[in-house]
Structure 1
Amino acid sequence: MGAAGSRARQNAMRSGVVVLGAVAFGYLSFRVGFKPYLDQAQEAMGSSHDSRSAAAPGDAPDDPGADRPGGDPAPSKDPAVVLRD
């Protein structure tokens, strides 16, 4: 029974390594395949963030929730903010 248990453990370890390798390969394939789109999205998010921070304090705020009591902003449609909340 000791040899059968050892063989089963080896097979389980081998299967785990194969699964982890497949997941890593899939992740890298996704990153390489969608790299142009990911770069464009990151650039667009960075430029929108820079334009918001570049506004002068005396300017009229672009934030639609700035006139709300307590200054609470309106709910955001940004997925990162939705997931964080």
Structure 2
Amino acid sequence: MRGGGGGSRARQNAIRSGLVVLGAVAFSYLSFRVGFKPYLDRAQEAMDTHVSSTAAATDGSVSDAAQPDHAGEEGLATSKDPAVVLRD
């Protein structure tokens, strides 16, 4: 007869499986961050620039007519359309 050894083996297998899953999730997250870093940085920069230009526009120094709806010569910073941030 085998006694209570089967329960500890099942518990060890469950812990091992949990660690493998956590490792896979961590690896996937880091791969995503590294793979999409240029795009994420560009999107963050565009959002920061848009927020600062919006704050300047409320002061009256920059009018809405001076900012085009889509990215022009100045790049993504002047766009009001969030989809333009992800466009190359």
2:47 counterpart (31, 45, 48)? 45
Shift of 1:3: 0.7
Q: CA RMSD in A?
A: 2.3
Count of matched residue positions in the alignment of Structure 1 and Structure 2 = 64
Instruction: Calculate the TM-score normalised by the size of structure 2.
Output: 0.63
**What letter is aligned with 1:38?**
L
Gaps of 5+ in 2: 65-80, 83-88
2:33 counterpart (17, 31, 34)? 31
Identity rate, percent: 68
Instruction: Calculate the TM-score normalised by the size of structure 1.
Output: 0.65
1:29-54 deviations in Å (ceiling 9; x for gaps): 00000000000000011111110111
Higher relative contact order (Cα pairs below 8 Å, separated by 6+ residues): 2
Number of the residue aligned with 1:17? 19
The 4+ residue runs of structure 1 with deviation greater than 3 A are: 56-59
